[in-house]
A = this chain, B = another copy of it.
């Protein structure tokens, strides 16, 4: 089963640093999200059930470690969107952002560099 958006917020904390306790996660995510302790605990339990995190007892509490890798998650999510909206092809997606004027100078520079590298690697 796919992990939900709220769950992904918790994963994000763990991807930045792990292992972490529920309390630490709450501290990092509570203010921005306005979540209470119970909320975070529930999300952690659902993530456990989905085998997206692993919990290891440390004294009185548990420390949580991500099992699902960020790269995997990003992969699934972006492939889903790409397939649903752009026929699975990257260029139309970029074209979309381009039309939308959502390409920053920095983006353009980086894209150029990226293409150059692809060139070099495959002459």
Q: Closest Cβ of chain B: how far from A38's Cβ, in Å?
A: 24
- CB neighbours (8 Å) of A98 from chain B are 114, 118
- Number of residues on chain A facing chain B (CB within 8 A): 34
A95-109 CB mask vs B (1 if < 8 Å, else 0) is 111101011101110
User: Taking the complex as formed, is A110 at the interface, i.e. its CB lies under 8 A from any CB of chain B?
Assistant: yes
How many subunits of this chain does the assembly comprise?
2
- CB neighbours (8 Å) of A82 from chain B are 97, 102
Chain B's closest residue to A5 (CB) is B84
User: Taking the complex as formed, is A115 at the interface, i.e. its CB lies under 8 A from any CB of chain B?
Assistant: yes
Asked if B81 contacts A90 (CB within 8 A), the reply is: no
A–B Cβ pairs within 8 angstroms, 10 of them: A5-B84, A75-B96, A77-B84, A81-B81, A89-B104, A90-B97, A90-B103, A91-B107, A91-B110, A103-B118
